Amino acid sequence: MLLSIIYVIGITAEAMTGALSAGRRNMDWFGVMLVASATAIGGGSVRDILLGHYPLTWVKHPEYLLITCIAGIVTTWLAKWVVKFHGVFIRLDALGLAAFSVIGCQVGLNMGLHYGICVVAAVITGVFGGLLRDLICRQAPLVLHNELYASVSLVVACLYLTLHYFSIDENITVITSLIVGYLMRMASVRFKWRLPIFQLKVEESVH
């Protein structure tokens, strides 16, 4: 229940950041709704397609798609406000990232998949929405360059699975994972934690 509420908050926040990206590319309303929805529920959709986990969440719950489309359009009116309250969105996005990762894990576990694949499912849920946004808006994928993002998903997933493995109460497992994920993401934004970058400056090309 708590997770559902945080999920809705998460997709709303993600949809609004997606709409801003669409706005930077001068897209029309349909583009705004598309990018908003892809950012918010694209990660879960990619996960479900890769795992063969049908029906997709938004097909079963069309109201989620409605929320992301409305959030996108509302953003076109409140853009200045959204940009101004930048910090709020960073926080909501961090919460959403943690929630997405937990949900990804749960989907994997419910399908009886290998723990390693559950971790992958969590990371895909957390990260691929942003990747799709950047792909459609033709900008360098932020999640592959900036502060820790996928790594937060990874840590949340490992924590969740560990607590799950030792049969800790589900509520405690979820809440602990959410808090740790939120704090880790906020810390990595504040202290600019990054993964090592791989820079290659060769003219030759292998392929």
Query: Which residues would be at the binding site for a copy of itself (CB under 8 A)?
Result: 16-17, 19-32, 34, 45, 49-52, 54-56, 59, 62, 65-66, 76, 79, 82-83, 86, 89-90, 93, 113-114, 116-117, 120, 127, 130-131, 135-136, 138, 140-145, 149-151, 194-200, 202, 204-207
Q: How far is the CB of 127 from a copy of itself (least distance, A)?
A: 8
Q: Which of 18, 11, 199 is nearest to 99 (CA)?
A: 11
3-class DSSP assignment, residue 135: helix
Smaller CB distance to a copy of itself: residue 17 or 125? 17
- For the chain, state the CA radius of gyration: 17
CB 144 within 8 A of CB 198: no
Distance (Å, rounded) from C-alpha 143 to C-alpha 70? 25
Smaller CB distance to a copy of itself: residue 3 or 37? 37
Q: How far is the CB of 175 from a copy of itself (least distance, A)?
A: 26
What is each CA distance from 149 to 105, 154, 171, in whole angstroms? 16, 9, 24
Smaller CB distance to a copy of itself: residue 24 or 167? 24
Q: How far is the CB of 73 from a copy of itself (least distance, A)?
A: 9
Smaller CB distance to a copy of itself: residue 1 or 80? 80
Distance (Å, rounded) from C-alpha 119 to C-alpha 133? 22
Smaller CB distance to a copy of itself: residue 130 or 181? 130
Q: How far is the CB of 34 from a copy of itself (least distance, A)?
A: 7
CB 185 within 8 A of CB 97: yes
Six token digits for residue 187: 């810390």
Q: How far is the CB of 55 from a copy of itself (least distance, A)?
A: 6
| Count of alpha carbons within 13 angstroms of residue 19, beta-carbon side | 27
